């Protein structure tokens, strides 16, 4: 007679589901912390020009966006239809660019400040005079890395 006998008719024990709510809440908190929401509501119409030689920006956290274009219909009664500059979530004047750049620099760690890039998202119908004024203010603020946003040219 053998010492070890196989037990017949018994099934394997059920898997415990007691820890599933903990796992689900950990995943929920993880995605809530990691997800980056849009910073600003776009208040201007921006249809960027198309280009062939494009490069992708590596670190989006080091990019501050400057939008230039005609206000959306919602804001045209208040601001008119001439092109405006949007910094962050509000319309600003060109003179306000250095303050906007400095506010962004303060948020970035000192080691990464050299990598800050200003991305100009300019509507194709905007005159070059506004763009050159913006570039002059960026130069005065010490922001020399400038990027022009464009969409890929459909071939």
Question: pLDDT by residue for the chain (155 residues), tens digit each?
Answer: 567 666 666 677 778 888 889 999 999 999 888 887 766 788 999 998 898 888 888 888 899 999 999 999 999 999 999 999 999 889 999 999 999 999 999 999 999 999 999 999 999 999 999 999 999 999 999 999 999 999 998 75
Contact 139, 98 (CB under 8 A): no
Number of domains in the chain: 1
- 9 in any annotated domain: no
- 21 in any annotated domain: no
For tokens 């303050």, the residue is 99
Domain CATH code at residue 55: 3.30.420.270
Per the prediction, the chain carries an average pLDDT of: 89
Whole-structure pTM value: 0.73
For tokens 């198309």, the residue is 50
- 5 in any annotated domain: no
**The domain containing residue 74 runs over which residues?**
44-152
- 101 in any annotated domain: yes
- 6 in any annotated domain: no
- 28 in any annotated domain: no
- 79 in any annotated domain: yes
- 143 in any annotated domain: yes
For tokens 């750049």, the residue is 101
| Distance (Å) of CA 80 to CA 54, 103, 119, 147 | 33, 28, 25, 28
pLDDT of residue 127: 93
pLDDT of residue 13: 75
């Amino acid at each position: 007679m053998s010492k070890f006998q196989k037990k017949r008719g018994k099934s394997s024990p059920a898997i415990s589901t007691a820890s599933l709510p903990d796992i689900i809440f950990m995943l929920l908190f993880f995605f809530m912390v990691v997800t980056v929401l849009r910073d600003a509501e776009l208040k201007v119409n921006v249809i960027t020009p198309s280009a062939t030689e494009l490069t992708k920006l590596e670190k989006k956290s080091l990019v501050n966006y400057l939008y230039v274009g005609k206000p959306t219909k919602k804001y045209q009664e208040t601001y008119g239809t001439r092109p405006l500059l949007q910094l962050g979530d509000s319309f600003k004047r060109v003179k306000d660019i250095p303050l906007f750049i400095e506010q962004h620099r303060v948020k970035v760690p000192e080691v990464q400040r050299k990598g800050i890039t200003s991305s100009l998202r300019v509507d194709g119908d905007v005159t070059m005079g506004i763009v050159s004024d913006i570039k002059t203010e960026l130069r005065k603020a010490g922001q020399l890395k400038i990027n022009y946003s464009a969409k890929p040219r459909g071939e």
